Structure 1
Amino acid sequence: MQVCLNVKGLGVTIEGSGPTVVMLHGWPDTPALWDDTVASLRDGYRCVRFALPGFDLSQPPRPVSVDEMCGLVGSVVDAVSPTEPVTLLLHDWGCFFGYEYASRHTSRVARVVGVDIGDTNSGAYLKSLKLKEKCMIAGYQLWLALAWKLGGLLPGLANRMTRFMARNMGCRTAPEQMGWQMNYPYAMQWFGSFGGLRGVARVSRVMGPQLPTLFLFGKRKPFMFHSPRWLAALGTTPGCGVQGFDAGHWLMRQKPSLFNASVRAWLDRGTAAQTRQTTEAA
């Protein structure tokens, strides 16, 4: 059974029962990204998902700052789980914003599953990239940031630019579900729009050291979104885990069975360990 809520203009869908898992998608996706994952988890977990602000194309554009995004995520978490910390399941820009929320509110987060985006704001990551890789990253991100800038005046062109880039990156989202309104995080990154992205927490200081983290990533990409150093450190941190897939950026759609089994197994182990600790304490 589905339960639907409206939290500060965000349509929130809840399915299943058990420990709460809040799912954040990224660009250029919708909550439908998690359909198969919800189906694999809802018999043991309470799955919560919503469209990031501005990503619901049935609504007007809604770009938000990092502070505003963290506030909205916090409002959803508080609405669906007011007393217990939640698990975050994150992908792409959902990772960036979810990591930042977790770093600010560690008491409200029990653990994190990050998909394909790691310590991208660290010096170790920048040092790990070759010049060609840096140029490729700048190229696609600036293209999307420009599409955002053009969207208000030339929405048709901006949509074509967005869908062209998504297709070339291997995104399987239907073209009609992608629009220039989704590109504002890239304008934040490159133009400093809506407060920019400066001052956010270092992922490597929070994910792993402070919060149990499972990191899943695709190995079939022209460049990675994590540093080898962070991956090695996370892989040797108790309670954490890393796993690479023979896939690209959208693991949950390219390798759904393997992806969902890996997420479920890690969550089940953590839940069982927590249950044992609670029983022993009692």
Structure 2
Amino acid sequence: MFRVLFAISVLLTLACSAKAEIQPFPANFKIEEIATNGATIHVRVGGSGPAVVLLHGYGETGDMWAPLAAVLARDHTVVVPDLRGLGLSSKPAGGYDKKTQGTDVAGVLDALHIDKADVVTHDIGNMVGYAFAAENPQRVTRFVLIDAPLPGIGPWEEVLKNPLLWHFRFGGPDMERLVAGRERIYLDRFWNEFSADPAKFDEASRVHYAELYALPGAMHAGFSQFAAFDQDAIDDKAFLEKGGKLSMPVLAIGGEKSFGPMMATIMRFAASDVTEGIIPNSGHWIMEENPDATIEMVTAFLSKKQ
């Protein structure tokens, strides 16, 4: 009887694991491993037409963008990297300041022979995208930033006082040892506390991303993304002083139960042409909590004639 019950348990576990999948990219997307700037960036590329780059943030990878990528690929060339150190990109010892990662983006586009692109970003992707846009304004046609601040820009010091953001200062070898083998426990905290409804960040997605963040070097890279914020703040202030505000059209989107209109407030310190957008019934994880509204808002903005 014990063996029968054990066999049933194994089968149920395998069945659950088989379902632990998030939406895949369309079959016509290809994978490229692009060596640039001291890292190898895992990139998904598909579709045809004007280019658009989608940059993810912490707690996810480029996989978060699959539903949006499928829609954009109808009339765009869609480029979806994993940030250095995260997902299936390489995990170098350094280079986690956002200025360096902005150069990663430039290198990816160069390798793909793409001169200009729309840029859509979320969370830490906002910071990388801003660094890329500030240093390469001629290469960014439109810029969408979703639900995360920019270091050193606008009310950054006030944002840092939010107790929910204690993880900005959480890092180092001892912290890495604390979460080793417990990546899912650590990440659940983000998915739960930053959601309007934690159930919207489903179990399949949690399993998928926890496995990727458990890869060797991934948690170190994740902590390094946050540890670089002080340098990012210095760099962002320098971008503003040297180049002034971004001039391309910017859509600043906040989750209704997260940054909300604050995203537009932040971006008006860094850009001169800012449109405010709010995703209803959503916290921070907009592609999980309200993908339909997010896709509609982003595609409508990107389709506007300049």
Q: TM-score category by the smaller chain?
A: 0.7 to 0.9
Q: Which residue of 1 aligns with 2:212?
A: 177
CA distance in 2, matches of 1:228, 1:218: 12
Residue 212 (1) aligns with residue 249 (2)? yes
2:109 counterpart (71, 77, 82): 77
Paired letter, 1:254: E
CA 241–17 in structure 1, closer or farther in 2 if over 3 Å, else same: same
CA distance in 1, matches of 2:268, 2:300: 21
CA distance in 1, matches of 2:290, 2:134: 29
Residue 197 (1) aligns with residue 248 (2)? no
| CA displacement, residues 62-95 of structure 1 (integer Å, 9 cap, x when unaligned) | 542424312211101212244x311111000000
1:109 counterpart (133, 137, 140): 140
RMSD: 3.2
Residue 255 (1) aligns with residue 283 (2)? no
Structure 1 counterpart SS, 2:59 = coil
Q: Which residue of 1 aligns with 2:301?
A: 266
Q: Which residue of 1 aligns with 2:275?
A: 241
Paired letter, 1:210: S
Q: Is the 8 A contact 2:122 2:145 kept in 1?
A: yes
CA distance in 2, matches of 1:213, 1:201: 17
Moved more, 31-40 or 196-205: 196-205
Measured after TM superposition, the shift of residue 155 of structure 1 is 5.6
Q: Is the 8 A contact 1:53 1:63 kept in 2?
A: no
Residue 140 (1) aligns with residue 174 (2)? no
CA 102–2 in structure 1, closer or farther in 2 if over 3 Å, else same: same
- Structure 1: state its 5+ residue gaps: 274-282
CA 149–231 in structure 1, closer or farther in 2 if over 3 Å, else same: same
TM-score normalised by structure 2 residue count: 0.71
Q: When the two structures are aligned, how many residues end up with a matched partner?
A: 255
Identity across aligned pairs (percent)? Answer: 21
Moved more, 257-266 or 240-249: 240-249
Residue 6 (1) aligns with residue 36 (2)? no
Q: Which residue of 2 aligns with 1:159?
A: 183
Measured after TM superposition, the shift of residue 230 of structure 1 is 4.0
Residue 186 (1) aligns with residue 220 (2)? no
Structure 2 counterpart SS, 1:53 = coil
- Structure 2: state its 5+ residue gaps: 1-27
Structure 2 counterpart SS, 1:266 = helix
Structure 1 counterpart SS, 2:106 = helix
Residue 126 (1) aligns with residue 151 (2)? no
| CA displacement, residues 236-259 of structure 1 (integer Å, 9 cap, x when unaligned) | x65x42111221011122111111
TM-score normalised by structure 1 residue count: 0.77
1:150 counterpart (141, 164, 175): 175
Measured after TM superposition, the shift of residue 3 of structure 1 is 2.8
Q: Which residue of 2 aligns with 1:276?
A: none
Paired letter, 1:266: F
Q: Is the 8 A contact 2:84 2:91 kept in 1?
A: no
